[in-house]
Amino acid sequence: MSASHQKKTIVVGVDGSDQATAALDWAIRLAGPLSAEIVAVFAVSPPSYFGYGYETVPPSLDPKWRAQVHSDMEQIWCRALRESGLPHRMVIEDGRPARVIADVAYREDADLVVVGRRGRGGIVELLLGSVSHELTHQCDRPVMVVSCNKLAAKGRAAAGRPRPLGARPVRRQTSHSRSDAEPRRRLLL
């Protein structure tokens, strides 16, 4: 079978956030023309016992919590994927999110990994970490990091509606201090 006729696979990290929704939207748009399968991945982070008393079970170890996460992933987080009609699977695994996504991408021989970016940056990213940043260092597959337009996400959330699949990225002109002072167009994701 020639390389152009092989099954294409896109792995996308999902967690219900606006950033993950933006990443899933991009994965769906890319998968259509490629006839690719999408593998949606949610990583259950290892429990942190800081802040839990001995009598309290961390939520990630509670079977009811896990059942709710599985339901949310199928019914809410990946609704657009289900409605797209594209071939897809959903995977939930335990572990650090970047490591889980990289491992799934390796096992699936993914052609592309798509993840959202929260845009914390600086000291906050240094202290709290960044899944997208860590993934770009750990994953041996191409990684596409999608930024979410925060104003658009807030507007969708306030209106109670998800971003439409066919929505186009926002374009705006920005001026940069260049010698010719010609404005550039920048594509915001």
Model confidence at 171: pLDDT above 80: no
In the CATH scheme, what is the homologous superfamily, with its name and number, of domain 7-188? HUPs (3.40.50.620)
Q: Which of 1-10, 20-29, 48-57, 85-94 has the lowest mean pLDDT?
A: 48-57
Model confidence at 13: pLDDT above 50: yes
Summary mean pLDDT of the chain: 77
Q: Which has more confidence, 154 or 149? A: 149
CA distance 116 to 24: 8
How much is the pLDDT for 118? 75
How much is the pLDDT for 181? 43
**Separation in Å, CA 141 to CA 72, 104, 107, 114, 172:** 28, 11, 11, 10, 31
68-126, pLDDT tens digit by residue?
A: 999 999 999 999 999 999 999 999 999 999 999 999 999 999 999 999 987 655 555 54
Which of 13, 9, 10 lies closest to 95, judged by CA?
A: 13
